[in-house]
Amino acid sequence: MQRFIDRIDIINKYISDGLSLLFVPMTLMAMYEVVMRYFFNRPTTWVWDVNVQCFCALVVFGGAHALQQGGHVIMDIIVNKFQEKTKLIINLCVYVIFFAVLLITIWQVGMFAWNSIVISERASTIFSPPVYPIKTGILIGVCLLFLQAVSLFIRDIMALRMLSNEGDNS
């Protein structure tokens, strides 16, 4: 089980670290657009579309890493008042609800991506880039978020078992 957890963590870390490098070209493209628009009066037709797709990739693939690092909003004010065992039980209950929501999301986003692929969907802009790759990326990102949640769920089960075993030995 630990190997499964470690692999999910490593995959999400590498993906988020790699995609974080998108900030450099995104910044350069935005600077290029500003220079072309305001100094040469020749705005680009492609920078906005490319930057939107890059940002979308950052957000959807960063969700799993944020979950892994504890970066999502949680109810610390309420939960911190409980003992560790109670916190773990609350986490496990929340993860069950989270899994249900994520499975519905995967199903819906999967249909969304598939329909986009089938019709070779393109953005309705002058540049008109294909949008099915980013919609497929959204599906992959949600699946990675689901796997990361499974990893944390298993971790919490293992921690709860350890606490229960310690309580039994006392």
Taking all residues of the chain, what is their mean pLDDT, rounded to a whole number? Answer: 91
Domain extents for the chain? 2-169
Mean pLDDT of 111-139: 94
Residue 79, pLDDT score: 75
Please report which confidence band the pLDDT of residue 164 belongs to, taking 50, 70 and 90 as the band edges.
confident
Residue 166, pLDDT score: 77
Residue 1, pLDDT score: 82
Locate 17 and state its tokens.
């670290």
Residue 2, pLDDT score: 87
Percentage with pLDDT > 90 across the chain = 68
